[in-house]
Amino acid sequence: MATDRDKRAEILDRVRALGGLTPGVARQVARDTGVAEAEVFGAASFYHLLAEPDVRVRVCTGLSCELAGAGDVLARARAAGWPVGTCACLAACDRAPAVLHGRDTLAGIRPDDVDRAAGDWRALASSAVPERDWRGDVGPAGAPADRLACDLLGEPDWSGSAFARAAQLGPDAVIAEIDRAGLQGRGGAGFPAAVKWKSVRSQPDGDRFVVLNADEGEPGTFKDRELLLRRPDKVLEGLAIAAAAVGARDVYLYVRGEFGAPWRSLERAIARFAASGALADTRFHLHAGHGAYICGEETALLEALEGKRGMPRLKPPFPTEVGLWGRPTLIHNVETIACVPAIVQRGGDWFRALGKTGPGTKLYCISGHVRRPGTYELPLGVTVDELAAAAGGYVGELRAFSPGGASSGFLPARLRDTPLDFRALADAGSMLGSAGVVVLNDTADVVAAVANQLRFFEAESCGQCAPCRIGTRFLRQALDRFRAGAGRGAALAQVADVAWQMNEGSICGLGQAAPLPLVSALRHFPEEFADG
Amino acid sequence: MADRNADRASGGGASLTASLTIDGERVPFAPGETILQVARRAGAWIPTLCYDPRLEPAGACRTCLVEIDGWRRLAPACATPAAADMVVTTRSDRIARHHKTLLSLYMTDHVADRDACETGAPCELHALADRVGAATDWPRMEPVRAGRPDDRNAFIEFRPDRCILCARCTRYCAEVEAVSAITLAGRGSHTTITTADAASLVDTTCEMCGGCIDTCPTGAMTEKIPLREHAPPDRLLDKVRTTCNYCGVGCQLDLNVDRAAHGGRGRVVKVTSPPPGTPPNDGNLCVKGRFAYQFIEHPDRLTRPLVRDAGGSLRETSWEDALARAAAGLRGVADRHGADALGFVSSSRCTMEENYLMQKLARAVFGTNNVHQCAAT
């Protein structure tokens, strides 16, 4: 029998099944679930894939897609009279420009593809690359598997041998290996994984959960997509090991709504493990997101799983103590959890030694002005030049790079020797974040790139707290005024105060980081903002 | 909710078992209290906008942020539990800059002119912005929040340009009234307060209690004109505390009187709730208590005894005459047809004592059990 909790958790999926938030849908879902009609409406209206049911095709407005001509694709689709809109980064920066078609991301869509579809937006899917080809370039080619934790090019391993080894070791020994490995959260914060595992494990008895954060949405980041497409075995096995270690049986996988192909990959992998029983009685629950970048923030993700508006919670308390449905919850990014099987198999010391300036390898995404955009598993702490070399080298001369998604701001070429790790980038006033590196060469317009990212944060702010809700908008308007010729002194006079307020006052990391693109550009590229 | 009420009831001193430091002073507190509750009891000034003691703290308006030793980030006083030996700072350069920049930002997205903003209700945001010296020369946002101008309900109006999205109204509607007629909807700067499918409130579960108006700090939720017919700003109105006479609960309410109206005779121009914490209704009212006060000035209202003349028209008379005529009429019916030919109907708007006397009149004086009152069913 479905509990009230379960019914509440279902409301967003029910709105989706009814075709999105058209008039009367909230009322029907309210009738079917007992959740108040306004609550259904308020929750669904938060998610753009539900709130805009008439939009069938969305063109990615991410920086890499913009650099690759997404504007032309959008213009032609509009001219063709398609039910088209825009969306934030689709995690296809290596195959830009990308278009969302229903819930499937189509990579590498060119203006010609729009023309070829001859006015029928449905025909775009058939002219686009097939699902399998959403896999991008990964590497480094030829690296020995025993130097890689994620090993994107390796054959999937369905044996469950790491899970069996973990069962042999027992929870405490597994957690000790994770600790020894020095594994840090790969979602952006770099928090030590073992601290979370210990905390969840030490909570008083009762339900507890493991949650996978597969809401990859940080602009410039697409590594989790590759993992889900190529190595779902590692992801599920890591989750099963984590669940056993912290004493959970139920694992919730929150997969972003735009990830049609990765979702299907996970579905197949779950079925395969269920059939073999290799992961014992771990129960996997797949849960689709419905379009909201903020749900990559762990507490917003928990709210979304519970069928609510994806507004981050106040911390403390942290999810390890009060998480999903108020229970202790271990929540990890896809890449973090995918490192776990190799750590269990080869040991924490092995993992730690893989890194250069920090423990382990790291999946670096690189896009923009490089020859072979893609995902490269390299020692933690490589420089942007080393990463670019793995990606076939720069196109043109390096001018600026964004080391870890939009939230990390822009760094100038003279900081090219900074190790791409958690500490060094924080010291440089930036962050490793999701390690989604976007390269801008000497032909790029830095101010336009900043404007792109400010628009992104304004569109994706959840709106809960004033510093972020008003601040993201304020900064975007200020830069618009500057670009319209208002001059730095006048247009950007309040930027320092607003950025300070957003960083101090915002509830979550989105608002705290949202000023960074502009603030970092003002700091590192002052000539771009000279009065004139 | 029980816990929260326990928190609110505490502070009397009985269970103050631990202490923390606020601005250098040692302050005792009871388990479960928040920093805000303790600090306010100690006389510290911590501004709030989204806080209402009747609601679960949201920590969303960010005005109440304080410094806590050992915490890197500022913490919302309203939602942070007091802990033993915590060291809290409410006054510092950092907090002052926080107040000033936050309120400056709020004001870019709010009606700039205070008098224009305060038609109908005082605005806590303006008052706070003035107090912390918020900038008034920052560029302004173009308005984006959608309202529901066509909502045909008679009582409640939402003015989106005044809204600061503190969500007191939606939380009140859900947590106190358990009605959930209104909700936060949309996302980011487009977030607004609305109903499912933006329907009129009359087509929702709304009970028109007006609690959203009461809890709103900025007058974004307000009484509809013509309910709010008064000309003078809210701050010039006299509040007269009285007991609601619509039922026997005894809710306290404040008649807002424009003394100058009617050539100095005065006029009730709206009803507001006393502050939360005022017994018995804790600042809550129902649709009748809050909105049905226009009978006071209604031309049909009986304010003097009237009797019918030979032609059947009503004419004014004395109480003695009116009572004598009524008594004679009642007696006449009882004499001719028996006491059970009479029926007595009283009102829930009468006091309990008046209702008691009515049934006494029926049963003891006339000898019939035909007595009823509208609250008896």
**d(C-alpha A426, C-alpha A420), whole Å:** 10
pLDDT tens-place string over residues B60-102: 999 999 999 999 999 999 999 999 999 999 999 999 999 999 9
DSSP β-ladder status, B252-258 and B238-243:
antiparallel
Query: Is the predicted pLDDT of residue B12 greater than 80, yes or no?
Result: no
Going by pLDDT thresholds of 50, 70 and 90, the confidence category of residue B375 is confident
Task: Give the per-residue pLDDT at B2.
Answer: 37
Q: How far is A25 from chain B (nearest CA, A)?
A: 9
For testing the chain A interface, which of B144, B161, B187, B205 should be mutated: the one with the most A CBs within 10 Å? B187
Task: Give the per-residue pLDDT at A94.
Answer: 92
* Mean pLDDT comparison of B171-185, B257-271, B336-350, highest-scoring range: B171-185
Task: Give the per-residue pLDDT at B3.
Answer: 41
**d(C-alpha B74, C-alpha A504), whole Å:** 7
| Chain B contact set for A46 (CB, 8 A) | 185-187
- Name the burial class of residue A480, with classes exposed (0-12), middle (13-18) and buried (19+) by CB atoms within 10 angstroms of its CB: middle
| Partner-chain contact A466 B139, CB within 8 Å | no
Distances (CA, A) of A415 to A8, A19, A262: 49, 49, 35
Query: Is the predicted pLDDT of residue A305 greater than 60, yes or no?
Result: yes
User: Is the pLDDT higher at B108 or at A405?
Assistant: B108
**d(C-alpha B283, C-alpha A322), whole Å:** 32
Q: Three-state SS for A137?
A: strand
| Chain B contact set for A463 (CB, 8 A) | 165, 184, 186-191
Query: Is the predicted pLDDT of residue B372 greater than 90, yes or no?
Result: yes
Structure pTM? 0.93
Task: Give the per-residue pLDDT at B159.
Answer: 94
| Partner-chain contact A45 B186, CB within 8 Å | yes
Of B174, B184, B194, the CB nearest to A309: B184
State what percent of residues in chain A have pLDDT above 70. 98
Nearest to B215 by CA among B268, B250, B177, B245: B177
**d(C-alpha A302, C-alpha A40), whole Å:** 17
**d(C-alpha A93, C-alpha A137), whole Å:** 11
Going by pLDDT thresholds of 50, 70 and 90, the confidence category of residue A406 is confident
Query: Is the predicted pLDDT of residue B121 greater than 50, yes or no?
Result: yes
Q: How far is B74 from chain A (nearest CA, A)?
A: 7
Of B60, B105, B189, the CB nearest to A498: B105
- Picking from A527-531, B234-238, B262-266, which range would have the lowest pLDDT averaged per residue? B234-238
Task: Give the per-residue pLDDT at A364.
Answer: 97
Average pLDDT over residues A211-222: 96
Of B74, B105, B187, the CB nearest to A471: B105
The answer to whether A131 and A138 are in contact (CB under 8 A) is no
A291, closest residue in chain B (CA to CA): B187
| Partner-chain contact A467 B105, CB within 8 Å | yes
Nearest to A6 by CA among A213, A292, A252: A252
Going by pLDDT thresholds of 50, 70 and 90, the confidence category of residue B6 is very low
Mean pLDDT rounded to a whole number for chain A: 95
State what percent of residues in chain B have pLDDT above 90. 76
B63, closest residue in chain A (CA to CA): A505
Q: How many residues does chain B have?
A: 377
| Partner-chain contact A494 B139, CB within 8 Å | yes
The answer to whether B220 and B278 are in contact (CB under 8 A) is no
| Partner-chain contact B188 A42, CB within 8 Å | no
Q: How far is B63 from chain A (nearest CA, A)?
A: 9
Going by pLDDT thresholds of 50, 70 and 90, the confidence category of residue A90 is very high
Going by pLDDT thresholds of 50, 70 and 90, the confidence category of residue A200 is very high
Q: How far is A272 from chain B (nearest CA, A)?
A: 38
The answer to whether A203 and A321 are in contact (CB under 8 A) is yes
| Count of CB atoms situated within 10 Å of the CB of A345 | 17
pLDDT tens-place string over residues A326-372: 999 999 999 999 999 999 999 999 999 999 999 999 999 999 999 99
Task: Give the per-residue pLDDT at B10.
Answer: 44
List the 45-64 stretch of A: residues with Cβ below 8 A of B. Answer: 45-46, 48, 51
B67, closest residue in chain A (CA to CA): A504
| Partner-chain contact B189 A481, CB within 8 Å | no
A463, closest residue in chain B (CA to CA): B188
**d(C-alpha A326, C-alpha A62), whole Å:** 35
Task: Give the per-residue pLDDT at B228.
Answer: 58
Integer-rounded Cα Rg, in Å, for chain B is 27
Contact A469/B at CB under 8 A: yes
pLDDT tens-place string over residues A485-509: 877 778 999 999 999 999 999 999 9
Going by pLDDT thresholds of 50, 70 and 90, the confidence category of residue A131 is low
Query: Is the predicted pLDDT of residue B335 greater than 80, yes or no?
Result: yes
Query: Is the predicted pLDDT of residue A416 greater than 80, yes or no?
Result: yes
Of A24, A471, A505, the CB nearest to B65: A505
Contact A481/B at CB under 8 A: yes
Contact A23/B at CB under 8 A: yes
| Chain A contact set for B135 (CB, 8 A) | 494
| Partner-chain contact A38 B102, CB within 8 Å | no
Give the pair of three-digit tokens for residue A134.
């959403």
Which positions ≥6 away from A251 have C-beta within 8 Å? A209, A210, A211, A212, A239, A240, A243, A282, A283, A284, A285
Of B102, B194, B196, the CB nearest to A501: B102
Distances (CA, A) of B183 to A418, A456, B55, B166: 47, 25, 15, 12
For testing the chain A interface, which of B48, B101, B144 should be mutated: the one with the most A CBs within 10 Å? B101
Helix (H) or strand (E) holding B239: strand B238-243
A225-244 as b/e, with b when 16 or more CB fall inside 10 Å? bbbbbbbbbbbbbbbbbbbb
Nearest to B253 by CA among B268, B234, B267: B268
Q: Three-state SS for B367?
A: coil
A-B C-beta contacts closer than 8 Å? 141
Contact A503/B at CB under 8 A: no
Query: Got the DSSP string for A369-435?
Result: SBSS-EEEEEETT--HHHHHHHTT-BSS-EEEEEBTBGGG--EEGGGTTS--SHHHHHHTT---TT-
Give the pair of three-digit tokens for residue B297.
């000035």
Query: Is the predicted pLDDT of residue A99 greater than 50, yes or no?
Result: yes
Amino acid at A50: L
| Partner-chain contact B65 A497, CB within 8 Å | no
A50, closest residue in chain B (CA to CA): B186
| Partner-chain contact B105 A27, CB within 8 Å | no
| Partner-chain contact B97 A500, CB within 8 Å | yes
**d(C-alpha A486, C-alpha A479), whole Å:** 9
pLDDT tens-place string over residues B188-235: 999 999 999 999 999 999 999 999 999 999 999 999 866 656 567 777
Task: Give the per-residue pLDDT at A1.
Answer: 58
End-to-end Cα spacing for chain B: 31
